[in-house]
Structure 1
Amino acid sequence: MRELGERWFRLLGDGEDEDFVCSPAGLWLALGAVAAGARGGTAAELRALLGVSGEEAAGAVTGAARAIAGTDAVAVATRVWSRVPVYRAYREALPDVGFGQLDPDEIDAWVKEATGGQIEKLPVTIQDDTLLALVNALALKARWGTPFASHLTRLAPFTDAAGTVHQVPTMHRQLSRSEAWTVGTATVVELCCAAEPGSGAPARVRFVLGAPGAGPAEVLPAAWAPLHACGPLDADVVSLALPRLELRTTVDVTPQLPAFGVLRATSPDADFSGLSPEPLAISKVVQETVIKVAELGVEAAAVTVVLARPGGAPRPQRTVRLAFDRPFGVVVLDGSGEVPLFAAWQANAPAGEPIPGTAGQQGLLPPPWPPVPPPPGPARGFSPAPAPGGTRRSPSHPPSAPPSH
């Protein structure tokens, strides 16, 4: 997930004077769940991006989602809505993923509930040709372990990426030296959230201040730098001034996929044959993310959606020509399929009747039911044999008269 994040930051940070908020974890989980149904070259491309694909991706996605959900105050959920069949094996490989019929209103309601109302609806429109929607939701609502005193919040200068100075509401508090460190030219501050008794470990929120002019691709990865790359601040007291912030971004990831090396998944050559018997190709990957930081705590949510449309032409059916052109056997079984009523072995050239319909010949089977009533009197050129007891019986299916020439 961190490697995916670093690659994504380079794409999102092309315009370094633009704000953004994103969820690398949400994107990885959504693409990973789709990758669980990928095969062939499509799976290879997704594996190069995510580290997993195909059948192994299902276990990795399940394990990662459960680990994330173990963080206190974090909720994670994934669901698939579909207009096409989804293989049982795919569903069973992702036991924590829900499945249902494609219904845009139902999806919007699920998004709102899964994010605690932070995101109101799906950030993309379901089209008529949309066959499947896979949606991941991540949400966090947590209080700071040590809140900011609201009476200390006041206007302070903030210089934006273009060099313009603004006066913005800024929170203030003192930090312990263990809550701040350096990574190269960047400074990292960690604020821990409060955890409920008996719950998992609290979320750690890290703020990273880079050198002047540094962009997101350089600055953000310092938040997860290894311990050996971290150094102490040369100070006895750390006084923090942190602006309140609220960011919301909707990112269309689809045009970024080629930069990630994902080409087949969106093409007619896409192979998601481990997900559905219907040919599918990714049509859209979109993520909406929001984050709010204030005196009492932090809230964040992300919804990542992968839409699939019809893929290439259905694969040609595999045909096996089975010609009984050498000795073969025939067995007639009873209704249970266990008792051999008749058995035959054809070793020599078969001496069957000519093909039904050949001029002058009559097939073995009677005409379709119901039978045509016989004409009155004996058929021309046909005298039924006497039945036991001396009476004559008309055949139920007299043969047709010979064709006239």
Structure 2
Amino acid sequence: METSTLTSHTGPVRELGRRWLPSVAADPGVRAAGGDFACSPTGLWLALAAVAAGARGATAEELRALLGVAGDEAARAVTDAARGLARTDALAVATGVWARVPVHERLRAALPDVGFGTLGVSGTPDAAPSPPVDAWVREATGGLIGGLPVHLSPGIALLLVNALALKARWADPFDASETRDRPFTDASGAVHPVPTMHKQLPPSAAWHVGDVRVVELRCETRGDAPPALVRFVIGSPGRPAPEVLPAGWAPARLRAPVDADKVGVALPRLSLRTHLDVTGHGHAQALGLARCTGGDADFSGLSPEPLAVSEVVQEALVRVAEKGVEAAAVTAATMRALAFVQARVERIAFDRPFGVVVLDASGEVPLFVAWQATTPLSP
């Protein structure tokens, strides 16, 4: 039976990944990069779930449909999931909130592992990220990501940032002397020589999920915590990423063993970094995010000020080499203050004969009454 550090939230994270991957692959920046990308479904889920902790009404229902949680249950889920993930050796998880508006004390208490701070006021509309937030990002990712992936401006009322970072060695590193150039056929059909690592593995380290082949490498553990697992997936020629990648988290019942005594792996060294605007380029539509970014958003559980999501941006990287793997993702959600909705006004002008009634404190006894029929005289 499979276990997960995300426990009951595993399903929603996997489903978010399944829904998100097609729009990631179609993102203009990804297409311009030839189809290369790195992203973190878990990082996005954690960031949006922390935002959803303050959602109410229809906004909460929209986020619940994507995340599986919203409102008070989302706050508990963020805490439980982050603590569960942190039990994976060499994996760091952190979430921080910086605000220019009040944040309900009840929400702060419901997110005990989230750091809260004040967002400094900037002097220009296109201000760079404030150094304290950039420093937090660098520390939270062990220097893998150098700063916040969004620009801060005076119009940002609240910033929420989630960071995931993994720096791990392979339990059985590749022999660097075996790394040599090998042909790699890219998505366009062009062939290039690339540095490729080689290793032989036991057959239990590989399996099939349909026509997708999966190879698993284990990371080294430095104590009693279980290590991270890294799976490499490859489908039939021409199969797109959104169809192939989910095989990496397919349940054991869908896996078919390889029919071999050993598995010879030829794996290119790689370094991928991607910047994704999750509220643009079709991502929001794919994820069903509309109300939380609109003028009728309801985050009244987060702040007494009316807020809506402005941007959700993620920067992610994955590096694989002979000694190990490095991966990090920073997901930033910015929120703007909504203008108060103009109240409906019933205008009553006393511009013709009218009466005046002065009553006692009970509102029952007419102490004085008057009727103004002619042009009023100023006292």
TM range (shorter): 0.7 to 0.9
Quick one: distance in 2 between partners of 1:276 and 1:28? 21
Q: Does 1:203 align with 2:228?
A: yes
Quote the offset at 1:312 in angstroms.
Answer: 4.1
Quote the offset at 1:258 in angstroms.
Answer: 2.5
Q: Does 1:277 align with 2:304?
A: yes
Q: Does 1:228 align with 2:253?
A: yes
Residue aligning to 2:294:
267
Q: Deviations over 1:113-157 (max 9, x none)?
A: 100000000011001201110000000000000000000000000
Q: Which amino acid aligns with 1:137?
A: A
Q: Secondary structure of the residue that 2:92 maps to in structure 1? A: strand
Report if aligned partners of 2:306, 2:338 keep a CA contact under 8 Å in 1. yes
Residue aligning to 1:3:
15
Q: Secondary structure of the residue that 1:197 maps to in structure 2? A: coil
Report if aligned partners of 1:191, 1:205 keep a CA contact under 8 Å in 2. yes
Quick one: distance in 1 between partners of 2:365 and 2:235? 88
Structure 1 residues 172 and 313, CA gap change in structure 2 (3 angstroms): same
Q: Which amino acid aligns with 1:253?
A: V
Q: Does 1:102 align with 2:95?
A: no
Quick one: distance in 2 between partners of 1:237 and 1:268? 59
Greater helix proportion: 2
Report if aligned partners of 1:208, 1:220 keep a CA contact under 8 Å in 2. yes
Q: Which amino acid aligns with 2:265?
A: L
Report if aligned partners of 1:78, 1:97 keep a CA contact under 8 Å in 2. yes
- 1:216 aligned to 241, 249, 262, which one? 241
Quick one: distance in 1 between partners of 2:330 and 2:264? 35
Report if aligned partners of 2:20, 2:286 keep a CA contact under 8 Å in 1. no
Q: Does 1:289 align with 2:305?
A: no
Residue aligning to 1:310:
337
The equivalences for 1:4-403 within 5 A come to: 4-14=16-26, 17-103=34-120, 104-198=130-224, 200-255=225-280, 256-314=283-341, 349=365
Structure 1 residues 221 and 325, CA gap change in structure 2 (3 angstroms): farther
Quick one: distance in 2 between partners of 1:325 and 1:99? 52
Structure 1 residues 314 and 94, CA gap change in structure 2 (3 angstroms): farther
Quick one: distance in 1 between partners of 2:99 and 2:322? 42
Quick one: distance in 1 between partners of 2:14 and 2:188? 28
Quote the offset at 1:327 in angstroms.
Answer: 8.8
Quote the offset at 1:349 in angstroms.
Answer: 3.2
Structure 1 residues 237 and 350, CA gap change in structure 2 (3 angstroms): same
Quick one: distance in 2 between partners of 1:197 and 1:51? 33
How many aligned residue pairs are there? 329
Is the radius of gyration larger for structure 1 or structure 2?
Answer: 1
Structure 1 residues 35 and 325, CA gap change in structure 2 (3 angstroms): farther
Q: Deviations over 1:322-361 (max 9, x none)?
A: xx98995xxxxxxxxxxxxxxxxx9x7376xx79xxxxxx
Quick one: distance in 2 between partners of 1:312 and 1:210? 50
Question: Can you give the 5+ residue segments of structure 2 that lack an aligned partner in the other structure?
Answer: 1-12, 121-129, 345-357, 370-378
Quick one: distance in 2 between partners of 1:226 and 1:98? 35
Quote the offset at 1:197 in angstroms.
Answer: 2.1
Quote the offset at 1:315 in angstroms.
Answer: 7.8
Quick one: distance in 1 between partners of 2:300 and 2:116? 17
Q: Which amino acid aligns with 1:270?
A: A
Quote the offset at 1:259 in angstroms.
Answer: 2.4
Higher relative CO (Cα under 8 Å, sequence separation at least 6) belongs to: 2
TM-score normalised by the chain length of structure 1 = 0.78
Q: Which amino acid aligns with 2:185?
A: T
Structure 1 residues 315 and 179, CA gap change in structure 2 (3 angstroms): farther
